[in-house]
Structure formats: C-alpha cells, structure tokens
Chain A
Amino acid sequence: MMMEITFKTLDRVTINGLYNKNTVADITSFAYCVEDNTYYLLDDPIVLQKREDIEITENGYYKIVIKDEAKVPIITCNTLKDVYKQLINRLARNDLNPFVLYKKFKEGYVTGNIEIDDVLTSVEDIPDDIIEEMIKDIAKAEKNHPDIFIFIGIDILKGIDEVLKKIKTNQELLKDKHITIKDIVNDLTVKGYKSITYPRYHTLVRFIEELINDEKKKLERLMKKQEQQQQQGSTNQSSSGQQQQLKGGSSSGNSTGSGTGSTAGSNAGMQGSPSPNTVGNNNNNNSNGSGNIGSSSGSGSGVGSLQLYAYTFRVIVSTNLKRNEVNEIIASIKRIRPDAKVEVI
C-alpha cells in the first residue's frame, strides 16, 4: 500500500567513514514523535541527497511517497530525546561524529548507548566554541576530500578534555605558546592513503605531556643558567671585595714599599693579551662595580676606558704571593706608569 510521509531530520551525527560511504540510499525507518506530532527520519540524512524522489516543502520538511508501507517501519516515540536515542541506536555501528554527539549531550540528549554515554559523561567540560570549531573543521575536511574516509574515535573527546585540563594546570608554563585545540588536533591528524585519521585519546595526552615536559626542561635549563650567572656574579663580587681590601693596602704600600720593582718585573710575564676574553673579563669586573686598584685619580674610569688597556700581566712564582708582595708589584707598576690602572682578578 502506498503512503505519503512528511518528515523532518535530526542533526547529522555521522561522518564520511568506512560504513557511511557505501551506504545504499535506502530509507529504512521513521520515528513518530508524539511530543511534536512529527515524523523523523531514522537514517543518515545524507541518503536524502542521493535520492531524487524526495520533495522539500516550504517549511523545511521533506516529503516522500513510500510504495510499500510494510517495508518501512515507523516507531512511536514520546519525546524528541527518544527519537534521538532511536537514531543513535540505528547508527551506532557507523562512523559517528563525537563532537555532534557531545553537543547534543550538552543539550540534554543521551544516546542510550552505554559505551558512548560513559565517554560523554566522563568528559567534564569542553567549551562550546571548541566543539563548534571542530564540527566545522570536520565538515570542511568532508567537503574538501569527498572521496576520503574519515576515522575518528569517540575517545578524542576525552583526549581534548585532558589536554584542556593540562593546559589549565600549566597555564603559566604554556602562556607564550598560544596553542589552540584546533591546532593540536590538526597537527596530530594523519592524512593517509584514502583516509584522514583524527588523533585518539592517548595521542593527544602524550602530545600535551611532551609539550609540558619540554617547556619544563627549557625552564629548568634557563634557571640553571641564571643560577650559574648569579654564582659567577657573587664570585666577582668577592674578588671585588678583595680588590677593595687591596686598595687600602696599596696606599700603605705606596708610602712604604720601595726598591722591589726589579724583582716583580722579573717575575711578571707578559701575556700579550688583546684577546676578546680578557677584554670581556675586564668589562665584567668593571660592570660589577669592582674598584680599580692603584687608581690614583679614581675618576674617568668608565667601562669603555678599560678597553684601552691592552696588556694583561700574569705573575708566575713558585709559592703563593703574600699580600704585601702583591702590593709591591702594584706599586712598582705604578712607579713605571703612574697613569696605569691595575686590577687583581
């Protein structure tokens, strides 16, 4: 017996996967919703595009004439949520779009499938904008690659949820990265031979863990570098303290010491030092505020002025130099060149 049905469709919950691609454009069942007195299609709405006997009415409904009424069962459901459950029940074996399922779940629609509902319940909160963005992204992939299968597992939702949690916990660490969920998912999506495979839970979790780990390690390295610099700074400070002491000693040496210049001169080996390192050291010492020993004027000794002093003397002796010996060496240099600046490093 022929029958005309005017019906509506629910949102498309599937993607172009392995099962949906080869779907024969058969209309297999309808649901009658008592709540709004409407018939709903319980098949993937994509079949409508493949059929030519479907008429679209002015108010957005579809109209079809069923030739054999007995072949197309009509299930009666009390509410729209029951219709949704029936739809999922029929399409559960197909490739479902997890993001559409989650969107519907947030609107209060449960699928009635224990496994899917478990995952949807376990996901704490993925913001709507991310869900919308991902739905658009998948639609774009379907449009751009109509011949390619799309593989996406429901656990991607758990993965995204975990990623969001980890980003939130490590906000400070990742603040310069400007990462978005869309970027992460796209970067991990594998475009293969006739297929696009979206990342699964463990791939997403490993990715974000690795990213955080990487950032932590970089930060650790930076801190260690700073620590080393600080240590170097404190060493310089202590040496500048020594220099300060020596400064006091040198003035007394100047007043008392005499006649030892020849000994010091014989011990002092000229290094011949316009090397960048030496200049760098000088600059470092100067910038750390160390006083210049034996500087008679005490003025006009800027950072740049030190670079004019091109020689470094290294004193090589068999035993350690005593303080007064050091002072004598300085005094003897000053005697030869009163305008010289002498640093003990």
Chain B
Amino acid sequence: MMMIKKGKITADRIYTLFFSRKINVLSIKDVLVGLGSFDAKQVFRLLSELFRKGIISLNDNYDISIRDHCILLQKVLGFKREATATFLFTALKCYKMLIRGYLNSNEKGKEEVFIDIDYVWNFASYTYNKRYNADSKRHAVVELLKENYLIKDDYFKYKRYKLNIDKIVKEGILDYLTCVHGEYS
C-alpha cells in the first residue's frame, strides 16, 4: 500500500502537474506520485469533485484526462476570469496556422500574428460552446492586455491585437496545448 503523508491539497496543484508535464492524460498513480506525499483519500475526494464539475474525466484505461483546458489555463496562469483563459485557448487554436508560420520563420522574416477579437469569440462560441456576455469579453481582453499576452498595435486600432507569441512560448503554454491543438511547428 502506498504510504501517503497527510497534508492539504488544492486543485491548482493538480492543474500545475498536468501543465508542467505538458500532457493532458496521466494515470492515477502518476498523479499521486506527482503530487508528492498526500492523503490519498483527500486526493480522490478532490478528483471526484473535479470530475463532477466536468474539469477532468476518466478514459477507458481509467487514466485521468483534462476535459476543460480553459479552467486549467485560468488556474495555472492566474487569470481572474475563465473567459480570459478561453480567449487565449481559442486564439491559439484558430490562429494556429499563422502561429506556426511565425515559429517556423527565421528572425528576419517573422510576421507578427494579429488577431481579430470578434473572430476568436465566434470560434469559441460555435466550436467550444463557450458564450460570454459583452462585459466578460471586454474584461478578458483587458486582462490579456494587462498581462501582456496581447499587445496593442499603433496601426490596427480596431479590435485587432498582436499576439505575444514569444511570451506564450516562454511560459510553456504552447507546449501544453500541443496535446490538445496538435503540433505547432
């Protein structure tokens, strides 16, 4: 039987575990080992709660897989709102082709990726079924600007922002999303 020390565990630690491993499926054993010494009962209680909320699920091999990547991103990146994480998650999906172009080009030929916020929200709505009101959408974009994931541009002033891909790559967001959105390079 696994010896597990008692201690407090939060969902954030589970999210961080998946994010740092750059994977969206882990076996229960891996989760327990990855979390270090914790009360197994507490871990299972937490996992059941996350399962009930639809954030994680069990696959056919009884491995734990992340179902709601937006929540994971929100918690790991410390966003105040889920909408912010949804926007970033969706933008990195629907602009995948341009992002790939940016990553694969050399320093001199790099073309910045400009995103249209209406397009991203539409994509989130009909592809991921994520709908938000106007206020949430506005706050999400403001938060991303504040956190420097989006950058204002002098020329494109209407609903178009530059995606800060260097920051996104540096923080390992693309590495994690590769398992969800597919390869970027």
B136 to chain A, nearest CB (A): 21
Q: How far is the CA of A214 from the CA of B119 in the complex (A)?
A: 11
A124 interface residue per 8 A CB criterion = no
Q: Is A186's CB under 8 angstroms from B65's CB? A: no
Q: Is B94's CB under 8 angstroms from A147's CB? A: no
Q: How far is the CA of A203 from the CA of B180 in the complex (A)?
A: 18
Most B-side CB within 10 Å, residue of A147, A187, A211: A187
B34 interface residue per 8 A CB criterion = no
Q: How far is the CA of A299 from the CA of B122 in the complex (A)?
A: 65
Q: Is A193's CB under 8 angstroms from B98's CB? A: no
Q: How far is the CA of A18 from the CA of B67 in the complex (A)?
A: 19
Most B-side CB within 10 Å, residue of A179, A213, A214: A214
B44 interface residue per 8 A CB criterion = no
B120's closest neighbor in chain A, by CB? A210
A191-B180 contact given A203-B127, A214-B114, CB 8 Å threshold: yes
Which residues of chain A come closer than 8 Å to B155, judged between CB atoms?
221, 224
Q: How far is the CA of A218 from the CA of B112 in the complex (A)?
A: 10
* Interface residues as binary, A187-230 with B (CB distance below 8 Å gives 1, 0 otherwise): 11111011001000011001100110110011001001000000
B160 interface residue per 8 A CB criterion = yes
B156 interface residue per 8 A CB criterion = yes
Q: How far is the CA of A297 from the CA of B118 in the complex (A)?
A: 63
A177 to chain B, nearest CB (A): 7
Q: Is B156's CB under 8 angstroms from A217's CB? A: yes
Q: How far is the CA of A211 from the CA of B128 in the complex (A)?
A: 21
Which of B97, B126, B128 sits near A187, CB closer than 8 Å?
B97
Q: How far is the CA of A177 from the CA of B111 in the complex (A)?
A: 11
B54's closest neighbor in chain A, by CB? A193
Which residues of chain B come closer than 8 Å to A206, judged between CB atoms?
119, 122-123
A100 interface residue per 8 A CB criterion = no
B107 interface residue per 8 A CB criterion = no
Q: How far is the CA of A221 from the CA of B123 in the complex (A)?
A: 26
Q: Is A177's CB under 8 angstroms from B101's CB? A: yes
Which residues of chain A come closer than 8 Å to B182, judged between CB atoms?
186-187, 189, 191
Which of B97, B100, B111, B122 sits near A211, CB closer than 8 Å?
B97
B135 interface residue per 8 A CB criterion = no
B86 interface residue per 8 A CB criterion = no
B134 to chain A, nearest CB (A): 20
Q: How far is the CA of A315 from the CA of B18 in the complex (A)?
A: 67
B84 interface residue per 8 A CB criterion = no
A183 interface residue per 8 A CB criterion = yes
A141 to chain B, nearest CB (A): 11
Which of A187, A193, A197 sits near B65, CB closer than 8 Å?
A193
B57 interface residue per 8 A CB criterion = yes
Which residues of chain B come closer than 8 Å to A279, judged between CB atoms?
none
A193-B67 contact given A187-B97, A206-B122, A218-B111, CB 8 Å threshold: yes
Which residues of chain A come closer than 8 Å to B126, judged between CB atoms?
202-203
Which residues of chain A come closer than 8 Å to B59, judged between CB atoms?
194
Q: Is B94's CB under 8 angstroms from A207's CB? A: yes
B6 to chain A, nearest CB (A): 33
Q: How far is the CA of A313 from the CA of B57 in the complex (A)?
A: 74
B81 interface residue per 8 A CB criterion = no
Q: How far is the CA of A111 from the CA of B148 in the complex (A)?
A: 53
Q: How far is the CA of A211 from the CA of B101 in the complex (A)?
A: 13
Within 8 A of A (CB), among B92-146: 93-94, 96-98, 100-101, 111, 114, 116, 119, 122-123, 126-128
Which residues of chain A come closer than 8 Å to B93, judged between CB atoms?
187, 190
A183's closest neighbor in chain B, by CB? B97
Q: How far is the CA of A203 from the CA of B156 in the complex (A)?
A: 24
A187-B180 contact given A217-B156, A221-B155, CB 8 Å threshold: no
Q: Is A190's CB under 8 angstroms from B127's CB? A: yes
A210's closest neighbor in chain B, by CB? B119
Q: Which 7 pairs between the two chains have the least Cβ-Cβ distance?
A: A187-B96, A210-B119, A221-B155, A193-B67, A187-B97, A190-B127, A147-B60
Given contacts A206-B122, A214-B98, 17 further A-B contacts (CB under 8 A): A177-B97, A177-B101, A187-B93, A189-B182, A190-B93, A191-B182, A193-B65, A193-B67, A197-B127, A203-B126, A203-B127, A210-B116, A211-B97, A211-B98, A213-B116, A217-B160, A221-B155
